[in-house]
Amino acid sequence: MSKATTSKSDATANNHRARNSATKCLSGVLCVFCVFVFCITAAHAQADVDEPFGLSTFPAEETAMAATWKALLVEINNDLSIVAKCREQSESCSSPAAIKFVSIAKEGERHDGPALIGHLNRATNFAIRPLDTAHADDEWRSPLAILERSSGDCKHYAVLKYAMLRELGVSPDALKIIVVEVRSIHQLHAVLSVRAEKDRWLLLDNRTLMLIESSMALDYYDPLYELDQNGVRQFASSPRSPQLDGFASRSRSLR
């Protein structure tokens, strides 16, 4: 074989190797680029989730909790109608619970923004006595029924705060009762979540007077369900807790 032919063959082989190397390099760059775009898109999608804890949710309409909450919403709206009449005609108001409700609400009207939320959280935490385990109340109750009993557990505090903030003009879209599992003790717990601003939700917990950023509470809580004016939704990141059906089914009667 001549030197010219050999040189030509070597040049051709070198060109093939160069093209293969360039192709592999380009494939690697495209792979990295796709991963980068995917990460940016996922992060952007997560940032657009305007839910407590920054977690996405999906409807949970076929649950005992959904039926319980639907019935309770009717009672909450009825109670707020009674409260509105007592505000207009306080001298003829025959409901001590409604009078107490109005009194707490009027105190809150002196504040706005986070100060209103903080005041309401404190006032409601002191409005009723916490129940001990020996006197547990499995019933979900309406706001006025809670004030009539003057005692309650986590879900009763959350319902009372939900109704109180609605009475004070906070949009129902900005209020969600959240059912969580407390990681340290593996028990279910209910808190109220309030949107302070876009993507920023505060938790109102009967166990503390502080307002807690929901994004800071994931080390302590596993969010399970949220209850709002549109019904019940389940947090997508949390497995469905078998305990929750009992938590709701024991509360079918709301009176």
Q: Domain with 204 in it: what CATH number?
A: 3.10.620.30
Structure tokens at 156: 């009763």
Confirm whether 149 is domain-assigned. Answer: yes
Confirm whether 28 is domain-assigned. Answer: no
**pLDDT beyond 50 at 250:** no
Confirm whether 80 is domain-assigned. Answer: yes
Confirm whether 203 is domain-assigned. Answer: yes
- Confirm if 165 and 194 have CB atoms less than 8 A apart: yes
Confirm whether 181 is domain-assigned. Answer: yes
Q: What is the mean pLDDT of the segment spanning 170-180? A: 96
Q: What is the mean pLDDT of the segment spanning 192-219? A: 92
Confirm whether 219 is domain-assigned. Answer: yes
In which band, very low, low, confident or very high, does the pLDDT at 193 lie, cut at 50, 70 and 90? very high
Entry pTM:
0.76
Confirm whether 255 is domain-assigned. Answer: no
Mean pLDDT, all residues of the chain: 80
**pLDDT beyond 50 at 242:** no
- Confirm if 136 and 153 have CB atoms less than 8 A apart: yes
Confirm whether 39 is domain-assigned. Answer: no
Q: Which of 125-134, 170-179, 236-245 has the lowest mean pLDDT?
A: 236-245
The number of folded domains in the chain is 1
**pLDDT beyond 60 at 116:** yes
Q: What is the mean pLDDT of the segment spanning 176-191? A: 95
What confidence score (pLDDT) does residue 10 get? Answer: 54
As a whole number of angstroms, the distance between CA 40 and CA 196 comes to 26
Q: Tokens 């949107």 map to which residue?
A: 195
In which band, very low, low, confident or very high, does the pLDDT at 132 lie, cut at 50, 70 and 90? confident
Q: What is the mean pLDDT of the segment spanning 101-117? A: 91
**pLDDT beyond 60 at 121:** yes
**pLDDT beyond 60 at 156:** yes
Residue 138's domain comprises: 60-249
What confidence score (pLDDT) does residue 196 get? Answer: 87
CB atoms near residue 188 (< 10 Å): 19
